[in-house]
Amino acid sequence: MKFLLVRTKRGDEGTFGHLIHGDFQLHSMELPWRDNQHAISCIPVGIYTAKSDTTGKHQFWTVADVPERDAIEMHPATWAGDVSKGFKSDLRGCISYGLRRGRIEGQECVLDSRLALERLKNYIGIGNDFELEIIERIEET
């Protein structure tokens, strides 16, 4: 099974987009691009394997074979901002999904993240890996 993660917006509040497989879609959220630095950057555009993870902290999926990075999980989160610029973040290089996007305390975020990951788990099936292709179609603002 191959999913497409399309990044459509990026900035200091985070990198936002959509996870898509046919008619199935979730909002995606990652940290801002910071040259693939560990724990402060989203991962590079590319094709990866999301491996079912029953041993990690969050036990959803781990993104494998990211150049010069490890321990990249998919897990529930609300914010993904650049903390060095005063924004909130629940991520340290990982990816999160939500049922919708919104703003909380003035910062862009994803909402209903736990529900989104449960939907993804039910859609894929527990214990199944999937291919994740990340591309960018950044909105001009």
Digit-coded pLDDT (tens) for 81-112: 999 999 999 999 999 999 999 999 999 999 99
Residue type, 111: L
Quick check: 54 pLDDT over 80?
no
> Is residue 102 within 8 Å of 109, Cβ to Cβ?
yes
